[in-house]
Amino acid sequence: MWHGTPILVVISILAYFCFLEQLLVAHNGFAALAISLPFSCILGLFSSLTTTSMVARRYVWIYAAIQFLFVVFFTHLFYRYLHLQAVISIILATFAGFGVGMIGNSIIIEVLRWRTMAPAQPRRAHRPPRVAQQQQPAPASGQPSGQPSAVGEGQRSATVDIENPAAPPA
């Protein structure tokens, strides 16, 4: 678990509380506090947990901010323009904002994986067929010619981790 998670939880709770209080105080007055306080605690905790579990450590704050903006957008949409009740608009906006954030994160990760895999595919097309490799003499390591060495096999199956790239050596 990331050491900055408690800080993210507190900041998320405060951000959601300020937003919900400003949204609801005009129509509900003092009752806005009774609505915004429990919802801000729940939203702050859930958003921090989903953020730290879905995103690489260096993108946590960016993802949390974008997720917050999605929740704010959908809450304004449901409460101000569609005139739903406050509690229902907050719940629907939470599902919509978190869902759009998670779907967007998944799409970005898949696109980045496809981009890293695309340059590797043309190289495979230029390799000689596997049958021609079996007719070559046995390698010096003593393995039969039909079985690839462990080094070659490991190089072919290696994948790049898009979310957590390897840190450069110090």
Domain spans, the chain: 5-117
Question: What is the three-state SS of the chain?
Answer: CCCCHHHHHHHHHHHHHHHHHHHHHHHHCCHHHHHHHHHHHHHHHHHHHHHHHHCCHHHHHHHHHHHHHHHHHHHHHHHHHCCCCHHHHHHHHHHHHHHHHHHHHHHHHHHHHHHHHCCHHHHHHCCCCHHHHHCCCCCCCCCCCCCCCHHHHHHHHCCCCCCCCCCCCC
What would the pLDDT profile of 7-47 be if each residue is shown by its tens digit? Answer: 999 999 999 999 999 999 988 888 899 999 999 999 999 99
The whole-number pLDDT of residue 41 equals 96
The pLDDT mean for the chain works out to 82
pLDDT at residue number 136: 56
Q: Which of 48, 21, 49, 47 is nearest to 36 (CA)?
A: 21
Mean pLDDT on 47-71: 94
Let me know if 118 is exposed, middle or buried by CB neighbors in 10 A (0-12, 13-18, 19+): exposed
pLDDT of residue 119: 74
Convert the pLDDT of each residue in 89-137 to its tens digit.
999 999 999 999 999 999 999 999 999 887 766 655 555 556 555 555 5
**Predicted local distance difference test score (pLDDT) of residue 117:** 87
Confidence of residue 156 (pLDDT cuts 50, 70, 90): very low
- The pLDDT of residue 150 is above 60: no
- Answer whether residue 167 shows pLDDT above 90: no
